[in-house]
Structure 1
Amino acid sequence: MLRYPALPTTFFQNARARLMEKLPPGTAAIIFANEVLPGEADTTLPFQQNSNYLYLTGIETPGGILWLYPEAPVAEAREVLFIQPPSPEKKLWEGWSYGIEEARTRSGIQHVRPLSEWQAFWRRMVGRIHAVGLDFNEHERQTHALLPSPAHRFARRLQQELPGHQIVRLAPILARLRMVKTPEEIALMREAIAITIEAYQTILPLLQAGVMEYEIEAEIQRLFIRRRASSAFSPIIGGGERACVLHYTHNSQPLEENTLVLIDIGARLGSHCADLTRTIPVGPISPIAEKYLHWVAEVQLYAQKQLKPGISIEAWYQSVAAYMQEGMKALGILPADAPANAYKRYFPHGLGHFLGIDVHDVGSRYDPIPVGAVVTCEPGLYLPNEKIGIRIENDLLVTENGCENLSAALPDLLGL
């Protein structure tokens, strides 16, 4: 019933096996699916699954619980998935959803039970374990107040009722596992990137003066849906000075002749994302704007050469930032005696981030980047007074000897 390509069942089986190998002795991991959140009136907000639950089960529906306990005395308690089977009423209104057999086939978990059996199962097993592994959202870029998740509520109850049981943080363990992409994940991301590249090729002839930014967005969304994908994030279509708004998503203004338009988009195909940016001329542009575009493309190539396994995203950023500082001096954007970090006025964001199930995927900017990680590389230059904003973003797979540009089929200087 899924309209998009799905990872094979063996992927989820292997992911669970890797997690169980990392659990401390006596620890059972409990990973909760996300819940449906209420909207206004009788509506609900669009559902987004807990990425770790999705990584381990492949199940996209809300309300489940995954139990993993490698030291269980019987196989029936080692790996158990609890789901809410669809009721006749739910089937009537919403159609297909995972039943017990479908969840078993999708996840590769043999012991799938109704969610109503969870409490009794927990009471039987709690005396055998010493610690509970729970995954909380510890993403270093999360700045919004977090609503209490099922894991938060369970942790509070555990501390009140069973204070002798320790809580083990699963987030760091799962982050290290998810940083290294499997061949199946890389293949899916290549497809998502190819769809995103096709979207750029589709809209390129439409980039003319008078065309509305939202018209460009509409064509991108149309292409994504036709290719069984969706937007991994709200598309950014920023013409002229609007390109200097880093996460501009109003997409409400007309394109103007002799300007640049910054387009930051990415397809989500199944569980995994692409994230690409190109800055494209609308008609002839000034020599200085073209010069800036070429310079950002040069920075992109320099940054790719600096990316190697073992470097951290922070160290990678610092090495490229020093190159950008000197480049801005050579361009006359900064004076020769500009203080250190003066480049931040014109390049105020990071160089890149991990990419995978989430657009800003898990992983620390301070830890060594392993072989098999996928990161974005997105140098930019923002000059609001000149109504010029430029960003060129590629998706890079870290290899033994450096990196592979997964988005190399899309020219950095698209439209020139």
Structure 2
Amino acid sequence: MRYQKIPNTLFVKNRSKISKELESGAMAILCSNEVLPTNADGHMNFKQNSDLFYLTGIDQEDTYLILQPHHPIEDNREILFIRETNDHLKVWEGEKLTKDQARDISGIQKVLWSHQFESYLERASSEVEVFYFNANEHDGRNTAFVSKTDQLNKEIQEKYPLHSVKRLAPILTKHRAIKEPEEIESLKKALEVTKRGFLRLADKLKPGMMEFELEAHLTHEFLMNRSRGHAFPPIMASGKNACVLHYITNNEECKEGDLILMDFGAEYANYNADITRCLPVNGTFSPRQKEVYQAALNVFHFAKERIVKGNTMTELRKSTAQKMEEELINLGLLNKEQIAEQDPNSPLYRKYFPHGVSHYLGLDVHDVGPKYATFEPGMVFTCEPGIYIQDEGIGIRLENDILITEEGNIDLCADIPLEITEIEDLMRQQA
């Protein structure tokens, strides 16, 4: 792994929180993601199952975890199964984790080989009353894709049809939403790398550059700083491309007089940064660009003040929508009469601000978390209002990552230039 080791105290705490919520006679089972194939004999880069990583810190394929907190034998309450290295693997892929390394990373003392998982389950199943199965229950998931977790759940149910089954996702979702200090440190490291990338982009940007050149600078900066790369496909959207919310083609020229919207973030130790900045390609905002940017900034500050303990996502979206309407009126894009007569189920501001203002952030970019929960300290959210005016070829989105505290919140991106004067000063310094 490229990233520096995370203290295993994190994973010990995480397992303890989950285990306390499992009923008597229960066994929770989780497995790693697969290495997915491409064409011929190729394969994609491995990405660990976020839930398994949250509980073990193991960043390797062919891994299983069993939690049986009420087992009478203490050693059997937590069991980790990892892939055994053989001579073939040593030659072609290198050595996998040893048992001692896995113990050190996870804090789990009983470590077996993955090929022992099925036989162990057969022996232990007679003492189990209920299986807790893991599953991806994110509301934006790809429901057509059958994961290794889905396959494992199906196989176990078919083999042990008389056992009760419960969902692990609601328990994990609740606890993953509240970040531990070690998780906040990983997020901060991801943002440190992201900031370096942004400053490099501001330094390199000039009329005539291609969007993919900026992406290349960003990739290089990330990899040079212990990140394994992008948290998600980066958006380098200049001119009219900024009005396409998920523009990732990054194949056009950055032209004099245009803005470029850059939505990106580094991954570090499986934790993800997610920021958006808009830069004038020539270093100076035009009067209209400045006007729209300031309007988006006003909404950003309004929303950020409301990402605090006690609020909810529903209320945040509702109040932010009203603030956005005010700013769109000031920009001459809407008027009060139109808003008074609009269909409340299809508000007019959605033409210019069609996406959400915030989402959970953590091990997944759109991290899991209770959808209607009251905001609590330890939760991390993005704050990302945007204004997109297709007729003018202007798209502006501003995004920072916000940690909720007992006293209010902490903007984890506060040292990354955002205000108009900061951006223009930065561009002049880099010229």
TM-score (norm 2): 0.93
Shifted more, 150-159 versus 380-389: the winner is: 150-159
Contact 2:307 2:375 in 1 (8 A): no
Contact 1:277 1:393 in 2 (8 A): yes
CA-CA distance at 1:223 after TM superposition: 0.7
1:344 is the counterpart of 2:345: no
Contact 1:155 1:167 in 2 (8 A): no
1:329 is the counterpart of 2:336: no
Tell me how far apart the structure 2 counterparts of residues 64 and 275 of structure 1 sit (CA, whole Å).
28
Q: Secondary structure at the match of 1:11?
A: helix
Q: Secondary structure at the match of 2:382?
A: strand
Superposed structure 1 runs of 4+ greater than 4 Å apart = none
Aligned pair partner of 2:395 in 389, 399, 407: 389
Q: Per-residue CA shift, 1:128-153, capped at 9, x if unaligned?
A: 11101111000012245221x33323
Per the alignment, residue 139 of structure 2 pairs with: 140
Contact 2:243 2:395 in 1 (8 A): yes
Tell me how far apart the structure 2 counterparts of residues 315 and 124 of structure 1 sit (CA, whole Å).
50
Tell me how far apart the structure 2 counterparts of residues 68 and 364 of structure 1 sit (CA, whole Å).
23
Q: Secondary structure at the match of 1:397?
A: strand
CA-CA distance at 1:355 after TM superposition: 0.6
Q: Secondary structure at the match of 2:364?
A: coil
Superposed, which structure 2 residues align to 1:5-404 within 5 Å?
A: 5-147=4-146, 149-229=147-227, 230-283=229-282, 284-338=284-338, 339=342, 340=344, 341-404=347-410
Q: Per-residue CA shift, 1:157-195, capped at 9, x if unaligned?
A: 333333221111111100111111111111111111121
Tell me how far apart the structure 1 counterparts of residues 255 and 285 of structure 2 sit (CA, whole Å).
11
Tell me how far apart the structure 2 counterparts of residues 20 and 138 of structure 1 sit (CA, whole Å).
20
Tell me how far apart the structure 2 counterparts of residues 285 and 144 of structure 1 sit (CA, whole Å).
43
Shifted more, 87-96 versus 244-253: the winner is: 87-96
Contact 2:83 2:96 in 1 (8 A): no
**Gaps (5+ residues) in structure 2?**
425-431
What is the CA RMSD across the aligned residues, in angstroms?
A: 1.4
Q: Per-residue CA shift, 1:389-410, capped at 9, x if unaligned?
A: 0000000001113211010001
Q: Per-residue CA shift, 1:215-261, capped at 9, x if unaligned?
A: 11111111111111121111110000000111111111110111110
Q: Which amino acid aligns with 2:231?
A: A
CA-CA distance at 1:412 after TM superposition: 1.5
**Gaps (5+ residues) in structure 1?**
none
Contact 1:192 1:274 in 2 (8 A): yes
Tell me how far apart the structure 1 counterparts of residues 220 and 155 of structure 2 sit (CA, whole Å).
46
Q: Per-residue CA shift, 1:11-45, capped at 9, x if unaligned?
A: 11111111101112221111111112222101122
Tell me how far apart the structure 1 counterparts of residues 370 and 4 of structure 2 sit (CA, whole Å).
29
Per the alignment, residue 405 of structure 1 pairs with: 411
Tell me how far apart the structure 2 counterparts of residues 47 and 123 of structure 1 sit (CA, whole Å).
29
Tell me how far apart the structure 2 counterparts of residues 62 and 372 of structure 1 sit (CA, whole Å).
30
Q: 1:24 to 1:252 in 2, by over 3 A?
A: same
Tell me how far apart the structure 2 counterparts of residues 221 and 45 of structure 1 sit (CA, whole Å).
17
Q: Secondary structure at the match of 2:278?
A: strand
CA-CA distance at 1:374 after TM superposition: 0.5
CA-CA distance at 1:80 after TM superposition: 0.5
Contact 1:6 1:271 in 2 (8 A): no
Q: Per-residue CA shift, 1:338-384, capped at 9, x if unaligned?
A: 22421000000000111111111101332222210100000000011
Contact 1:34 1:48 in 2 (8 A): yes
Tell me how far apart the structure 2 counterparts of residues 121 and 320 of structure 1 sit (CA, whole Å).
53
**Percent of residue pairs bearing the same amino acid type:** 37
Q: Secondary structure at the match of 1:103?
A: helix
Tell me how far apart the structure 2 counterparts of residues 242 and 365 of structure 1 sit (CA, whole Å).
31
Contact 1:140 1:364 in 2 (8 A): no
CA-CA distance at 1:322 after TM superposition: 1.1
Contact 2:33 2:149 in 1 (8 A): no
CA-CA distance at 1:154 after TM superposition: 3.1
Shifted more, 151-160 versus 390-399: the winner is: 151-160
For these two proteins, the number of residue pairs brought into alignment is 414
Q: Which amino acid aligns with 1:349?
A: H
CA-CA distance at 1:289 after TM superposition: 1.3
Per the alignment, residue 429 of structure 2 pairs with: none
Tell me how far apart the structure 1 counterparts of residues 34 and 381 of structure 2 sit (CA, whole Å).
29
Tell me how far apart the structure 1 counterparts of residues 315 and 72 of structure 2 sit (CA, whole Å).
46
Tell me how far apart the structure 1 counterparts of residues 281 and 196 of structure 2 sit (CA, whole Å).
19
Contact 1:158 1:165 in 2 (8 A): no
Q: Which amino acid aligns with 1:288?
A: R
Contact 1:354 1:376 in 2 (8 A): yes
Q: Secondary structure at the match of 2:28?
A: strand
Q: Secondary structure at the match of 1:22?
A: coil
Q: Per-residue CA shift, 1:185-221, capped at 9, x if unaligned?
A: 1111111112111111112122211011111111111
Contact 2:32 2:149 in 1 (8 A): no
Q: Secondary structure at the match of 1:264?
A: strand
Q: Secondary structure at the match of 1:60?
A: coil
Shifted more, 115-124 versus 259-268: the winner is: 115-124
Tell me how far apart the structure 2 counterparts of residues 219 and 389 of structure 1 sit (CA, whole Å).
22
Q: Secondary structure at the match of 1:337?
A: helix
TM-score (norm 1): 0.96
Shifted more, 378-387 versus 36-45: the winner is: 36-45
Tell me how far apart the structure 1 counterparts of residues 120 and 351 of structure 2 sit (CA, whole Å).
57
Shifted more, 279-288 versus 379-388: the winner is: 279-288
